[in-house]
Chains A and B, each alone.
Chain A
Amino acid sequence: MIYLELFGVFFKIGLFGFGGGYAMIPLLEGEISAHGWLPVREFADIVAISQMTPGPIMVNAATYIGYRVAGFLGSAIATFGVSLPSLVLVMLVALSIRVFKESVGVQGILYGIRPGTVGLIAAAVVFFARVSIIHQPELPPFRGTVGLDSIGLPGVSLVLPALGIFFIILLGSKRLGLKAIPAVILSALLGMALL
């Protein structure tokens, strides 16, 4: 039955997909070709579109594929399937951290994980800057990936305008107290005007 099949596949992706978004894409691609649900070209389009629509990439992909394969119910089932493992696992971990909060083990691990995650956030800044400002695409080479190469005039560098947007948002948030959501909207408008 198609609904069960959809649920099974997306549950599996939710359970074995470590590392979020891009790291999960190869897993999804394998499942899709194994089931022959969509042509490869359309899959590449979904990935590109997922980057441009709000929300987690895998939720976008599950919704779209579910819809294409089995209509509205299919999209709901695929999305539920990909979220269910998270629901169970995260609650278990949150519960054990709360219960064992005072233990040396949890204290010690958090003692390391906290600064480690700060290091990861710093690395994410560098990664985002490379992709969106300096433009060295490191994303999987899917057609239509939104790098700076797909827009603007050929041969005209977009590094300066992109850097400009970066600094406008940086100063606006730091000095003028610009909030995150208005900042996202302003960046979109600036992108249309400058890039």
Chain B
Amino acid sequence: MFLSFFKIGAFTIGGGYAMLPLMEQEFVEHKKWVDPVEIVDVFAVAQSLPGVIAINASIYIGYKVDRIRGALVAALGVILPSFLVILGIAAVLLKFQENLWVQKAFAGVRAGVTALILLSGIKLGKAILKNRAAWIIAVGAFLLLLVGKVQAVVVILSSGMVGLGMYIVRQRGKP
């Protein structure tokens, strides 16, 4: 378990969302610790709470798998790679950044990761967007964030409220 999270910490460049494809592959497809719907809950919670998104998500999954011990192992695993890398290069840090090849490699990673996030999004979307209400909330959240420039945490909380309303109405409608 430590190794799984260590891998994710080591290969995530660019924070929060770049981690999604790796987590989805490792924890949903490979280890089957969480199902595709739950991984979306993990992201929602990780983004709605304060703190580092990657750490929040890891703690959530770790806690689910093995309670407090799992949470601690997960947090340590995801933190350690960046901790070690930064300590290792702290002395030569300012030179590293100016290296042209390093910049090219990371620009390449960003373009590639865009494709990976798109694929994860499609996969999770298929698991979750199963009725019209879900589509309306998803499109609404997308537009609020992108066009309305509303903060992610506000978007998540309002979709929760809208969902609660819709859910109650739907329950009442049932005989």
Contacts and interface: CB of A to CB of B under 8 A. Distances in A.
Interface of A: 14-24, 45-46, 48-49, 51-60, 63-64, 67-68, 72, 75-76, 79, 82-83, 85-87, 89-91, 93-95, 97-98, 104-105, 107-129, 131-133, 144, 146, 148, 150-151, 158, 162-163, 165-170, 173-174, 179-181, 183-184, 186-192, 194-195
Contacts of A64: 86, 90, 93
A116 B141 contact: yes
Interface of B: 7, 9-18, 20-22, 25-26, 37, 40-41, 43-47, 49-56, 59-60, 63-64, 68, 71-72, 75, 78-79, 81-83, 85-87, 89-90, 93-94, 96-98, 100-121, 124-125, 128-129, 133-146, 151-153, 155-156, 158-168, 171
Contact of A113 (B44, B56, B63): B44
Q: Is the interface of A mostly helix, strand, loop or mixed?
A: helix
Chain A CB within 10 A, most for which of B21, B87, B108, B140: B108
A133 to B, nearest CB: 6
Given A19-B153, A57-B15, A119-B145, 7 more contacts: A20-B47, A91-B63, A116-B44, A117-B40, A123-B142, A162-B107, A180-B21
Given A55-B12, A64-B86, A94-B45, A166 B114 contact: yes
5 contacts: A59-B82, A83-B52, A180-B21, A184-B11, A184-B116
Given A115-B159, A118-B124, A166 B104 contact: no
Contact of A120 (B55, B59, B81, B145): B145
A14 B52 contact: yes
Contacts of A90: 45-46, 49, 51, 56, 59-60, 63, 71
Contacts of A24: 52
B12 to A, nearest CB: 6
Nearest to B93: A49
Given A117-B156, A165-B111, A122 B121 contact: yes
B50 A93 contact: no
Contacts of A181: 7, 11, 22
A98 B14 CA distance: 31
Contacts of A150: 103
Contacts of B109: 184, 187-188, 191
B65 to A, nearest CB: 11
B79 A114 contact: no
Given A115-B159, A116-B160, A183-B112, A54 B44 contact: no
